[in-house]
C-alpha cells in the first residue's frame, strides 16, 4: 500500500513533467515570438535606417494586449463581448485627461499631470470598475443578450466622450499627452549619453524604440499572468461555465461572480492598453474606439484560436498585418505590379484607385473566408496532442493497476 | 413585484410623465414629433422584422441585415434611373416605375440575402457559435464595400418621385409621404402576419424556430425553411430601403450600420424572435428617437437608444412582448 | 424563517414541497425524509416530476411553496452553488459534463468549492497556490480511480464512452465532498453488466458515509440497492416504503400500468 502511495505521488510528478513537455507547441510559438521581438527592431532599424516599422510594431503590440485581455472574456469564460473598445477608450481617456493640459480648459481649470506608471494601474482599475458596473446587472443574461448589451455599451461610450466636450474636447480630441518618464533608478551612467552606453537613452520623448521595449515587457507580463490564471481554480471555473453553466453552478461555482471576474479582468487589460495607447500616440479622440476596433480585436481572438493564448497572439499579429498593412498597402502594390508588367500609367492609376475602394470588400471577404476555412482558428487550444498525452497516462495507470492487483 | 420590474415601471412612468408635460405645453410640436417618429419607426419596424425572424430561427445576430436594407435603397435608386421619371412632381410614369421597381427591389434583395445565407451561414450551421457571427460581420463589411465601390463615400441621391401633397391641420404639418410610409409598412407587416400564420411555409418557419430537430423529424426541409426566412426578411428590408429612399431622398453606404443597430434594438425591445414585438418595437424606438432628437438633442439620441437597449435587457430581458422561457 | 434543527438521523427533509409552472403543478405537496446513510429511490412514470423535485432540492428551481431542510439547515431558496457548498452534489439525467475539458479537469472543477486559492494567488502563482494545485490534482486522480476511469484522465470528457461519462459525472459530484449525492437515472442506457457495476459503485459510495438519493427507472437496480422508495405520479407522492411493500402497492401498479390493469 505504501509502495502504491509512493508510486502515486511519483506518477503525479511524472505527469506534470509530461504535461510541460506536451505544451511544446505553445513553447515553440513563444520561443519564436521572443526571438522575433528581439530581432525585429535590430533588423528593421538596420535595414530601413529608420524607426517607422518599430512604431508599427508597437501599434500591433497594443492590439496583442487587447486580444489577450478579450481572450479571457471570450475564450476562457465564453462571454461574447462586442464592445471591448469601450474599455480601451475608458483607459485611454483616463490617462489622457489626467496627464495632459486638457483639464486646464475644462470647468476644472487645472491641468493634472499624474505619472504614467501610476496611471497605468489607475486606468486599469477604472476600466475594471466600468466592466464590473456594466457586468453586474447584465451577466445574468443569456449569452447573446450579453453580447448585445456590450455592443450598446460600446456605442455609448465613445459618444459620451464626444458629447461631454467641455471636459474631453469632444471631436477636437485630447492632445499633447504626457510621455512616460523613466524612474530615476533606471537612469544611470549606463543609459543615455553617459560613458557606458549599454542601452539607448530611453527618454520616451517620442522614441519609438522605448515604446516598443515597454510594450514587449507589458505583453510578456500579461502572458505570464493570464497563463497562470488559465491553469488555476479560477481558470477551470471559467471554462466550466463556458461548457455548461448549469453543471458549473451545481459544482458549487458562483457563476455570477466568476463571470464578473472574467469581465473585470478582461476590461482591466483593455484599460491598461488604453493608457499605453494614449501615451504612445499622444492624441486621443472618440473616433479611435468605434465598433470596428471591438470587432477587429474579437476577430483576432477567434482567428488565433479562442482560449489559446499563444494562438491569440499570433492571430492578433497576423490580422494586424492584414488590416493595417496589407490592405492599405494594396494600391501601391498594385501600381508597382501594373508598372512592372507594362500597363499604361492611366490603367495603373485607375487600378490603384479601384483597389483603394476595395478595402471593405477585401476585409469582409477575408473574415468570411477565414471562418469558412478554419472556424476553430489558426492555433485552436482544443486540438492539442491528445493522443500522445493519453497514451502515456494510460500506460502509467495500467502499471498502477497491475501493482494494485498483485 | 421584483426589483427589476419596479425599476422598469419607474423608468417607463418617468418617460411618460415628461412626454405628457411636453404634449400639454407644446401640443403642436408634440404631434409633429410623433408623426416623424412614426414614419421613422415604420422603417425600423420593417428592418427589425428581418433581425427577429433570423434570430428566431437560427439564433444568429445577422449583422449584414442593416446593409441589405441600405443596399435596397442603392439598387432602387439605380433601377429608377432607367425610367423617365420626373422628380419633384408626380406623373403616371412615376407611378408605373414605382409599382414595378418596388417589388423588383424586394425580390432582388431577397435573392441576395438567400445567396448570403447559402455562402456565409449555412456551411457554419454546426460550427462554434462565434463563427457565423463573424461571417455576418464580414458580410456586412463586404456589402458596405460594394456600396462604397459603387458610389464612393459621399451621400447618394435617391429620386424624389412621390407627390408633394401636404396639408396642415391645426398647425400640424403632414404630407403624402408620411402617410405613404406608414401605410406601406402596415400593409407589409399585415401580409407577413398572414403568411406566418396561414401558410404551410409560415408554419414550417414557426416550427423550425421552436425546435429545429423536431421540425426536421416531422419532415420539414430545414434548409429550405431557413432560406425562406432570409428571403422574407430581405423582402422587408428591401422595402424598408425603398421607403427610406423615397422618404429622405438620400442614402449613404454606412447607413445600414447605425440604423441596423437601432432596428436591432427595436427587435430586442419587442422580445427577440417575437414578430409582432419587432413591429411594435420598431414604432416605439422610432418615437423614442424622434423625442430624443427634438427634446434632448440629436447628439444624445444614440446614447438614449442604446441606453434603453441596455435597460430593457437588464430589467425586462425577454422584451416587452417576449415570453418568459424557463431555463432547462 | 425559524430554523428548527432536524433530528440528527434525517439528512434531508422535504415539507409540503410544491412547484408550479403556470397552471401545471409539477411537484404537488410532497413531503419526505431521507435518513443519513441510506439509499433512497424516487421512482414514477415519465413526467411524474422526479427531476423537477431534484431541481428544487439543488436550487435550480425555487419551490413555489414548502421547505427543504438539509442536515438541519433550511436551504429553501438557496442558489445552486450554495447548495453544493453545503454538501449536496448531483448528476444529471442527460449527462452534463464539461465536454471540452479533460476528465481530470472535470473532477478538479468538482474540487472547486473545497479550494481556497483567490485571484491574486493564481495570478502570481504563489507557493501555497502551487501546493494546493498539486494536492487537488492528486485528489482528483483518486476520485477517478475510485470510479475506475483514471486511465482516461487526460482525455476530453466528450471522447469517453457513454458508461464512462456517467462514471465521470459521479466522480465529479463526489469531488465536491457531498454528504448527500443525488443521482438522476444513473443506469439509463446501461447494459446488464454495467448495471451490476453501478450497483457496486453505489455501495462503495455508501461506505464513504454518503447518503444516496436516486431517480431510476430500472426496477432491478432500484430493488437491488435502495432501502426505501418513494413513488411519484403526476407530482404527487402515492407510495412510500421498503421495496417489497411498494412493489405490491395497488396505486403504484395502477400508475405504471394504467387503471385497467
How far apart (Å, rounded) are the C-alpha atoms in residues A87 and A66? 10
The answer to whether residue C2 scores a pLDDT higher than 70 is no
List pLDDT tens digits, range B39-97.
999 999 999 999 999 998 888 889 999 999 999 999 999 999 888 888 877 888 888 89
List pLDDT tens digits, range B195-254.
998 998 988 988 888 888 888 888 888 899 999 999 999 999 999 999 999 999 999 998
> CB–CB of A376 and B148 under 8 A?
no
Of residues A246 and A375, which shows the higher confidence score? A246
Segment among A94-98, B7-11, C38-42, C221-225 with least mean pLDDT? B7-11
Asked if the structure places residue C203 within a domain, the reply is: no
User: Given this model, what pLDDT does residue B4 score?
Assistant: 65
Place of cell 427533509: C13
Taking the Cβ of residue A386 and every Cβ of chain C, the question of whether any pair is shorter than 8 Å is answered with yes
User: Given this model, what pLDDT does residue A158 score?
Assistant: 92
List pLDDT tens digits, range A98-124.
888 888 777 877 788 888 889 999 999
Range of the domain at B21: 3-315
Confidence of residue A395 (pLDDT cuts 50, 70, 90): low
> CB–CB of B127 and A375 under 8 A?
yes
Domain final residue, candidates C177, C202, C227: C177
| Percent of all residues in chain C with a pLDDT value above 70, rounded to a whole number | 95
> CB–CB of A232 and C176 under 8 A?
no
Domain final residue, candidates C126, C156, C177: C177
User: Given this model, what pLDDT does residue B2 score?
Assistant: 66
Which residues of chain C lie closer than 8 angstroms to A251, CB-CB? 81, 84, 89, 109-110, 112-113, 172-173, 176
Asked if the structure places residue B217 within a domain, the reply is: yes
Segment among A69-73, A228-232, A262-266, A341-345 with least mean pLDDT? A341-345
- Burial of A52 per CB tally in 10 Å (0-12, 13-18, 19+): exposed
Asked if the structure places residue B70 within a domain, the reply is: yes
Q: Please report the residues numbered 35 through 74 in chain B whose beta carbons come closer than 8 angstroms to any beta carbon of chain A.
A: 55, 59, 61
The three cell numbers of residue C226 are: 435502495
CATH classification at residue C163 = 3.40.50.300
How far apart (Å, rounded) are the C-alpha atoms in residues A296 and A290? 10
The answer to whether residue A169 scores a pLDDT higher than 90 is no
Query: Which residue of C lies nearest to A7 if distances are taken between CA atoms?
Result: C138
> CB–CB of B310 and A153 under 8 A?
yes
Say if residue C116 is in the same domain as residue C60: no
Asked if the structure places residue B223 within a domain, the reply is: yes
DSSP letters, A175-189, are -SPPPP---TTT-ST
Taking the Cβ of residue A163 and every Cβ of chain C, the question of whether any pair is shorter than 8 Å is answered with no
B134, B149, B313: residue with CB nearest A371: B134
Residues A160-179 have a mean pLDDT of 84
Asked if the structure places residue B284 within a domain, the reply is: yes
Q: Please report the residues numbered 223 through 242 in chain A whose beta carbons come closer than 8 angstroms to any beta carbon of chain C.
A: 225, 228-229, 231-237, 239-240
Asked if the structure places residue B328 within a domain, the reply is: no
List pLDDT tens digits, range B119-146.
999 998 887 778 888 899 999 999 999 9
Residues A331-338 have a mean pLDDT of 78
Local structure of C91: helix, strand or coil: coil
Sign of CA dihedral A133, A136, A139, A145: negative
User: Given this model, what pLDDT does residue A388 score?
Assistant: 44
Please provide the size of chain B in residues: 328
List pLDDT tens digits, range C127-168.
999 999 999 999 999 999 999 999 999 888 988 999 999 999
Which residues of chain B lie closer than 8 angstroms to A295, CB-CB? 137
Asked if the structure places residue B239 within a domain, the reply is: yes
Asked if the structure places residue B105 within a domain, the reply is: yes
> CB–CB of A153 and B132 under 8 A?
no
How far apart (Å, rounded) are the C-alpha atoms in residues A130 and C18? 41
Residues 6 or more apart whose Cβ sits within 8 Å of residue A174: A93, A96, A97, A100, A102, A168, A278, A283, A284, A285
- Over the Cα atoms of chain A, what is R_g? 24
Residues B6-22 have a mean pLDDT of 83
Asked if the structure places residue B51 within a domain, the reply is: yes
Asked if the structure places residue C32 within a domain, the reply is: yes
B166: which strand partners? B175
How far apart (Å, rounded) are the C-alpha atoms in residues B312 and B305? 10
Residues 6 or more apart whose Cβ sits within 8 Å of residue A243: A78, C97, C98, C99, C100, C101
List pLDDT tens digits, range A221-237.
999 999 999 989 999 99
Q: Using CB atoms, which chains have 3+ pairs under 8 A with C?
A: A
Range of the domain at C145: 88-177
Domain final residue, candidates C118, C153, C177: C177
How far apart (Å, rounded) are the C-alpha atoms in residues A220 and A226? 10
User: Could you give the number of structural domains in chain B?
Assistant: 1
The three cell numbers of residue B192 are: 407577413
User: Given this model, what pLDDT does residue C1 score?
Assistant: 45
User: Given this model, what pLDDT does residue A375 score?
Assistant: 77
- Residue in C174, C172, C135 with CA at minimum distance from that of residue C153: C172
> CB–CB of A363 and B120 under 8 A?
no
The three cell numbers of residue C139 are: 485528489
B308 close to B288: Cβ distance less than 8 angstroms: yes
Q: Which CATH architecture has domain A20-405?
A: Orthogonal Bundle (1.10)
How far apart (Å, rounded) are the C-alpha atoms in residues B262 and B255? 11
Locate the domains of chain A by residue range: 20-405
Quote the ipTM score. 0.91
Say if residue C17 is in the same domain as residue C50: yes
Q: How far apart are the first and last CA of chain A?
A: 11
Residues C76-87 have a mean pLDDT of 94
How far apart (Å, rounded) are the C-alpha atoms in residues A219 and B240? 47
List pLDDT tens digits, range A20-68.
554 567 777 888 888 888 888 888 888 887 778 888 888 899 899 999 9
> CB–CB of A232 and C117 under 8 A?
yes
How far apart (Å, rounded) are the C-alpha atoms in residues A76 and A239? 6
Amino acid at each position: 500500500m505504501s509502495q502504491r502511495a509512493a508510486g502515486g505521488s511519483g506518477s503525479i510528478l511524472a505527469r506534470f513533467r509530461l504535461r510541460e513537455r506536451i505544451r511544446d507547441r505553445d513553447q515553440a510559438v513563444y520561443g519564436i515570438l521572443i526571438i522575433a521581438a528581439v530581432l525585429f527592431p535590430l533588423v528593421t532599424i538596420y535595414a530601413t535606417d529608420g524607426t517607422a516599422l518599430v512604431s508599427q510594431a508597437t501599434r500591433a503590440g497594443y492590439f496583442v494586449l487587447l486580444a489577450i485581455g478579450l481572450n479571457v472574456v471570450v475564450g476562457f469564460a465564453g462571454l461574447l463581448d462586442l464592445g471591448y473598445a469601450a474599455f480601451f477608450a475608458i483607459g485611454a481617456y483616463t490617462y489622457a485627461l489626467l496627464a495632459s493640459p486638457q483639464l486646464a480648459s475644462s470647468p476644472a481649470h487645472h491641468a493634472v499631470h499624474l505619472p504614467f506608471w501610476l496611471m497605468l494601474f489607475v486606468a486599469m482599475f477604472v476600466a475594471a470598475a466600468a466592466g464590473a458596473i456594466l457586468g453586474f446587472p447584465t451577466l445574468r443574461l443569456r449569452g447573446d443578450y450579453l453580447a448585445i448589451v456590450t455592443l450598446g455599451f460600446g456605442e455609448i461610450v465613445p459618444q459620451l466622450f464626444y458629447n461631454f466636450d467641455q471636459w474631453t474636447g469632444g471631436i477636437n480630441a485630447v492632445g499633447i499627452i504626457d510621455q512616460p518618464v523613466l524612474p530615476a533608478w533606471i537612469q544611470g551612467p549606463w543609459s543615455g549619453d553617459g560613458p557606458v552606453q549599454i542601452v539607448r537613452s530611453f527618454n520616451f520623448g517620442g522614441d519609438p524604440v522605448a515604446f516598443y521595449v515597454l510594450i514587449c515587457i507589458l505583453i510578456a507580463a500579461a502572458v505570464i499572468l493570464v497563463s497562470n490564471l488559465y491553469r488555476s481554480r479560477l481558470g477551470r471555473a471559467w471554462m466550466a461555465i463556458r461548457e455548461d453553466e448549469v453543471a458549473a453552478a451545481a459544482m458549487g461555482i458562483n457563476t455570477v461572480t466568476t463571470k464578473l471576474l472574467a469581465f473585470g479582468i478582461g476590461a482591466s487589460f483593455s484599460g491598461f492598453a488604453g493608457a499605453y495607447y494614449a501615451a504612445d500616440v499622444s492624441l486621443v479622440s472618440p473616433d479611435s474606439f468605434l465598433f470596428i476596433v471591438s470587432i477587429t480585436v474579437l476577430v483576432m481572438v477567434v482567428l488565433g484560436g479562442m482560449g489559446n493564448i499563444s494562438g491569440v497572439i499570433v492571430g492578433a499579429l497576423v490580422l494586424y498585418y492584414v488590416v493595417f498593412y496589407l490592405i492599405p498597402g494594396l494600391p501601391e502594390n498594385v501600381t508597382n505590379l501594373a508598372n512592372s508588367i507594362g500597363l499604361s500609367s492611366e490603367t495603373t492609376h485607375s487600378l490603384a484607385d479601384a483597389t483603394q475602394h476595395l478595402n471593405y470588400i477585401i476585409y469582409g471577404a477575408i473574415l468570411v473566408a477565414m471562418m469558412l476555412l478554419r472556424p476553430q482558428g489558426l492555433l485552436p487550444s482544443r486540438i492539442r496532442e491528445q493522443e500522445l498525452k493519453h497514451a502515456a497516462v494510460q500506460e502509467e495507470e495500467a502499471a498502477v493497476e497491475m501493482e494494485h492487483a498483485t | 413585484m421584483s426589483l427589476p420590474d419596479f425599476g422598469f415601471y419607474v423608468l417607463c412612468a418617468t418617460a411618460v410623465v415628461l412626454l405628457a408635460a411636453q404634449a400639454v405645453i407644446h401640443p403642436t410640436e408634440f404631434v409633429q414629433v410623433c408623426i416623424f417618429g412614426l414614419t421613422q419607426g415604420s422603417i425600423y419596424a420593417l428592418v427589425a422584422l428581418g433581425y427577429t425572424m433570423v434570430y428566431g430561427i437560427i439564433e444568429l445576430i445577422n449583422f449584414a441585415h442593416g446593409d441589405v436594407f441600405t443596399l435596397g435603397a442603392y439598387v432602387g435608386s439605380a433601377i429608377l434611373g432607367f425610367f423617365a421619371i420626373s422628380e419633384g412632381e408626380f406623373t403616371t410614369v412615376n407611378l408605373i416605375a414605382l409599382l414595378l421597381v418596388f417589388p423588383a427591389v424586394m425580390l432582388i434583395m431577397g435573392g441576395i440575402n438567400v445567396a448570403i445565407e447559402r455562402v456565409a451561414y449555412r456551411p457554419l450551421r454546426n460550427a462554434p457559435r462565434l463563427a457565423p457571427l463573424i461571417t455576418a460581420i464580414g458580410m456586412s463589411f463586404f456589402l458596405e464595400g460594394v456600396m462604397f465601390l459603387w458610389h464612393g463615400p459621399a451621400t447618394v441621391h435617391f429620386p424624389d418621385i412621390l407627390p408633394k401633397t401636404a396639408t396642415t391641420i391645426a398647425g400640424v404639418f403632414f404630407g403624402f409621404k408620411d402617410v405613404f410610409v406608414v401605410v406601406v409598412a402596415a400593409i407589409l407587416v399585415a401580409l407577413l402576419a398572414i403568411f406566418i400564420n396561414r401558410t404551410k411555409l409560415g408554419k414550417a418557419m414557426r416550427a423550425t424556430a421552436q425546435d429545429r430537430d423536431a421540425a426536421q423529424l416531422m419532415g420539414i426541409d430545414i434548409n429550405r425553411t431557413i432560406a425562406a426566412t432570409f428571403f422574407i426578411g430581405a423582402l422587408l428590408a428591401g422595402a424598408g430601403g425603398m421607403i427610406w429612399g423615397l422618404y429622405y431622398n438620400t442614402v449613404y453606404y454606412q447607413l445600414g450600420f447605425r440604423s441596423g443597430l437601432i432596428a436591432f434594438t427595436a427587435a430586442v425591445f419587442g422580445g427577440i424572435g417575437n414578430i409582432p414585438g419587432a413591429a411594435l418595437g420598431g414604432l416605439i424606438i422610432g418615437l423614442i428617437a424622434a423625442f430624443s432628437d427634438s427634446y434632448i438633442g440629436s447628439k444624445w439620441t444614440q446614447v438614449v437608444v442604446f441606453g434603453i437597449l441596455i435597460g430593457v435587457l437588464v430589467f425586462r430581458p425577454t422584451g416587452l412582448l417576449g415570453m418568459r422561457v424557463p431555463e432547462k | 424563517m425559524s430554523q428548527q434543527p432536524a433530528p440528527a438521523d434525517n439528512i434531508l427533509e422535504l415539507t409540503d414541497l410544491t412547484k408550479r409552472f403556470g397552471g401545471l403543478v409539477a411537484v404537488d405537496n410532497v413531503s419526505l425524509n431521507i435518513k443519513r446513510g441510506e439509499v433512497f429511490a424516487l421512482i414514477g412514470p415519465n413526467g411524474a416530476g422526479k427531476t423537477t423535485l431534484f431541481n428544487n432540492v439543488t436550487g435550480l428551481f425555487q419551490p413555489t411553496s414548502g421547505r427543504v431542510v438539509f442536515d438541519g439547515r433550511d436551504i429553501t431558496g438557496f442558489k445552486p452553488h450554495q447548495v453544493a457548498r453545503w454538501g449536496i452534489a448531483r448528476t444529471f439525467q442527460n449527462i452534463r459534463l464539461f465536454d471540452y475539458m479533460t476528465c481530470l479537469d472535470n473532477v478538479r472543477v468538482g474540487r472547486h468549492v473545497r479550494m481556497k486559492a483567490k485571484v491574486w494567488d493564481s495570478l502570481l502563482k504563489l507557493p501555497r497556490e502551487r501546493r494546493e494545485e498539486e494536492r487537488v490534482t492528486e485528489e482528483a486522480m483518486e476520485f477517478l480511480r475510485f470510479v475506475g476511469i483514471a486511465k482516461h484522465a487526460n482525455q476530453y470528457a466528450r471522447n469517453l464512452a457513454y458508461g464512462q461519462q456517467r462514471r465521470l459525472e459521479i466522480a465529479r459530484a463526489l469531488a465536491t465532498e457531498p454528504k448527500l449525492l443525488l443521482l438522476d437515472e444513473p443506469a439509463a442506457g446501461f447494459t446488464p453488466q454495467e448495471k451490476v457495476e453501478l450497483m457496486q459503485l453505489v455501495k462503495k459510495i455508501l461506505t464513504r458515509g454518503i447518503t444516496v438519493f436516486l431517480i431510476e427507472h430500472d426496477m432491478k437496480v432500484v430493488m437491488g440497492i435502495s432501502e426505501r422508495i418513494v413513488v411519484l405520479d403526476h407530482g404527487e407522492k402515492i407510495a412510500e416504503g421498503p421495496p417489497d411493500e411498494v412493489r405490491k402497492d395497488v396505486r403504484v401498479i395502477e400508475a405504471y400500468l394504467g387503471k385497467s390493469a
